Amino acid sequence: MAGGNSEQIADWNGAMGRQWAALQPEIDGVVVPFGAAALTAAAAQAGERVIDIGCGCGDTSITLAQMVGAAGAVLGVDVSRPMLEVARTRAAPLRLPQLDFREVDASAAELPARNDLLYSRFGVMFFSQPTPAFVHLRKSLCVGGRLVFVCWRAPRDNPWAMAPLVAARKAMNATPAPADPFAPGPFAFADEERLRGILSGAGFGNIQLQRFDTAISIGATPRDAAQSAVRFGPASRFILDAGAQNLPAILDAIEGDLVPLAAPDGRVSLNGSTWIVSASNPA
């Protein structure tokens, strides 16, 4: 078992988790194409048993439950109480008895055994000890069971996230402190070699990484896009630290930097770059 994720658990239950819960429809709108690419790779079948790791507000857990049908089972696991509340509220009217949610640390909690599929949309990059976490997760798979997840590639390939962050830092004259690129966080699995090492070290076989890029529409105008960037993504995390009093200056700076990147009709669409990762449990 891994564990040791108290900092992330606090973040996902604090301001950041509450913000994600409040913005669920908007965030789903941005990440759906990436999750869908991973769902296609996962190819969940009727009757399969699935765990959705870091399921957040439950979007992909619901889709997976519809894919496996009443004969299957989907368990969405997450550490964030506010996001799980949204997940349960969304799922309730859909009457999917095969779907359940559990508030647990996926890297350490006792999980149901003999699953066919471990799936995640951007929910596995936050473990403080990734290799032991994936050893633990692998043990919940049947022999031949699949692991499929989508994670972000390098920041430089993700201008949808980085252009607003760079503008926000500039507005505050903030020079980012040298940071560990492998620290738990959205870009922790950007490096292909490291990611392969973590999964092979955890005992997975048949490891495949497929690059998947698509444009993310972040706003109908540069102002809209700035307003969306300060609500979620790396710029929003920066603002949580910078303080709300600096928001007007940061918004203006982001808008200014996005103007030259906008299409002639004003829309701002910037690239999002991910890995669709698949692997299997050989034993």
102: amino acid identity, one letter: R
- Residue (56 or 272) nearer to ligand SAM, CB: 56
What's the CA gap between 185 and 61, in Å, rounded? 22
Q: Which of 31, 44, 162, 167 binds ligand SAM (CB under 6 A)?
A: 31
DSSP state for residue 51 in the 8-state scheme: E
Binding flag, residue 5, ligand SAM (CB under 6 A): yes
Would you give the binding string for ligand SAM spanning residues 90-119, x where CB under 6 A is met?
Answer: ---------------xxx------------
Q: State the nearest-atom distance from the C-beta of 131 to ligand SAM, in Å.
A: 14
Q: State the nearest-atom distance from the C-beta of 184 to ligand SAM, in Å.
A: 8
Binding flag, residue 63, ligand SAM (CB under 6 A): no
Residues 73 and 47 sit within 8 Å (Cβ to Cβ): no
- Residue (78 or 255) nearer to ligand SAM, CB: 78
Q: Is 177 exposed, middle or buried (0-12, 13-18, 19+ CB in 10 A)?
A: exposed
Q: State the nearest-atom distance from the C-beta of 35 to ligand SAM, in Å.
A: 6
What's the CA gap between 239 and 171, in Å, rounded? 11
How many residues touch ligand SAM under the rule CB under 6 A: the total is: 23
Q: Is 88 exposed, middle or buried (0-12, 13-18, 19+ CB in 10 A)?
A: middle
Q: Which of 41, 74, 77, 190 binds ligand SAM (CB under 6 A)?
A: 77
Q: State the nearest-atom distance from the C-beta of 208 to ligand SAM, in Å.
A: 21
Q: Is 157 exposed, middle or buried (0-12, 13-18, 19+ CB in 10 A)?
A: middle
Q: State the nearest-atom distance from the C-beta of 142 to ligand SAM, in Å.
A: 21
Closest listed residue to residue 19, CA positions, set 227, 240, 168, 218: 240
Residues 87 and 76 sit within 8 Å (Cβ to Cβ): yes
Q: How far is CA 12 from CA 16, 17, 54, 177, in A?
A: 6, 4, 10, 23
Binding flag, residue 126, ligand SAM (CB under 6 A): yes
DSSP state for residue 244 in the 8-state scheme: G
Q: State the nearest-atom distance from the C-beta of 173 to ligand SAM, in Å.
A: 29
Binding flag, residue 55, ligand SAM (CB under 6 A): yes
Q: State the nearest-atom distance from the C-beta of 75 to ligand SAM, in Å.
A: 11
Where does this chain bind ligand SAM (CB under 6 A)?
5, 8, 12, 31, 35, 54-57, 59, 77-80, 83, 105-107, 121-123, 126-127
